[in-house]
Amino acid sequence: MRSYSLLASAKINLYLEIIGDRPDGYHELAMVLQSIDLADRINLRAIGTDTIRVRCDHPQVPPDKNNLAYRAADLLAKQFPDALAKYGGVEIAIHKQIPVAAGLAGGSANAAAVLVGMDLLWQLGLTQSELQELGGTLGSDVPFCIAGGTALATGRGDKLSPLPDLGGFSVVLAKYRNLSISTAWAYQTYRQQFSSSYCAAEDLECRRQRLHSGPMVGAIAQKDRSKIGQLLHNDLEKVALPVYPQVLQLREAFESAGALGTMMSGSGPTVFALAESSQQAQQVMERVKSAIASPDLDFWVAEFSNTGIQIFSEGNETKPPISRV
């Protein structure tokens, strides 16, 4: 049976601004998204029956339709029934490296890998844009996770404009193992507390004036690392940090450790810090470890990546492994 193994990169937010409500119930957003080489490995194997099987080496990842990877395979099965009849179903094995419920788009990255891998497995010949359109029906982060790199995301986060690659950045990430923050809770709480400042959907001038992502986009274009670190911004910190003091303490520890900049990623609770090099990233990590001696606190050091989903191996012909921290 044919098989593919893919790497699915995690995502951090360098910028997250909430503009207002959308008619579809989502928020209108302006974000700068960045792939990092902390990645899950997704193995796809044709199984010759019309079923979808999911297994994962992490106990918190569901093996059923509650898993975005399962839903991605099910979406393609419904969209392309002839391919399902011809090639059969798929077994999806997820090997987790991206922490679960961490604000790093791990589930979306897994779904993106399944879309890319099944396109190859079933020889569908879909373009990246077509895959992203399908991915957008699964979740706002899935289209970005397919392409990866650095991008400005607008709409509900699914309208993407590529930005210049930011090679050379290192990043330290930290998350309390037993702490999670619901994305739905974060956005709903933000709406409850700050909706009075929202721009109306039809008020285009208000929305134009509210957009403050320009300086960050400019700093990225100039590859000004110091400025990028200073301009990190996440509106969801306004609701998360007061309720989760551990996240605030972690952010303050990174600030004191000499990083270029630090911020909560997405809806949290992961906090990341930017560094000039992997050596500086290691130094920042050791300083934070010394400041917060918690056995529940996990750390990762990674590099910025200019890609989203990468083919790791195909069939029995293994390609050289991707270099990762």
107 is in an annotated binding site: yes
Minimal CA–CA distance to 145: which of 110, 120, 117?
Answer: 110
269 is in an annotated binding site: no
Question: What is the SS3 string spanning 57-117?
Answer: CCCCCCCCCCCHHHHHHHHHHHHCHHHHHHHCCEEEEEECCCCCCCCCCHHHHHHHHHHHH
Q: Is 119 a catalytic residue?
A: no
108 is in an annotated binding site: yes
109 is in an annotated binding site: yes
For residues 243 and 19, give the distance between their C-alpha atoms in angstroms, rounded to a whole number: 22
Looking at 37, 119, 141, 235, which residue is catalytic? 141
Looking at 11, 37, 40, 119, which residue is catalytic? 11
For residues 127 and 116, give the distance between their C-alpha atoms in angstroms, rounded to a whole number: 10
Residue 284: helix, strand or coil by DSSP? helix
Sign (positive or negative) of CA dihedral 183, 274, 256, 97: positive
Q: Is 141 a catalytic residue?
A: yes
Residue 135 C-alpha from the chain's centroid? 13
Partner residues linked to 173 by β-bridges: 272, 300
99 is in an annotated binding site: yes
Query: Residues within the annotated binding site?
Result: 99-109
Question: Which residues have a catalytic role annotated?
Answer: 11, 141
- Binding site for ATP: which residues? 99-109
